[in-house]
Amino acid sequence: MVVYYIHIDDNNGKWDWDYMVGMHHLLDYIEFLYYLQKFGYNDFFTSDTSPTRWDIRGTFEMNVRPTNKLWTWLKRQNAEELNAIVAKGDYLKTWQWIEEKLLSL
């Protein structure tokens, strides 16, 4: 049996500063989690964040909390509907879905 783990963090695109997840690229992170679920990933996440810059416990909690919430939220979505929208490559429909389902706008 092979067990995988994925390092989660974020950065500003200029350097790998090991920021907390979603701080700079929230939609990219949600999309990343979407694809992990789509392809059946069910192993571990590790926080690849540098807590020496911030409160150590708070830093790791900041990675766990939104990751768990987003993971659960994505599981509750209609996967067939979302997969169909993404597969069509219709960015207007995709954004409308994001507005309605994710942002509640």
pLDDT score, position 77: 94
Q: Give CA torsion, residues 17, 23, 25, 27, to 10 deg.
A: 150
pTM over 0.85: yes
Distance, first Cα to last Cα, the chain:
44
Burial class (CB in 10 A: 0-12, 13-18, 19+), 73: middle
pLDDT score, position 85: 93
Q: Domains of the chain: which residue ranges?
A: 5-78
pLDDT score, position 55: 86
| Residue-by-residue pLDDT tens, the chain, 105 positions | 888 999 899 999 898 888 889 999 999 999 999 999 999 999 999 988 877 777 888 888 989 999 999 999 999 999 999 999 999 999 999 999 999 999 998
What would the two tokens of residue 41 be?
């990933």
Number of H helices, E strands in the chain: 4, 2
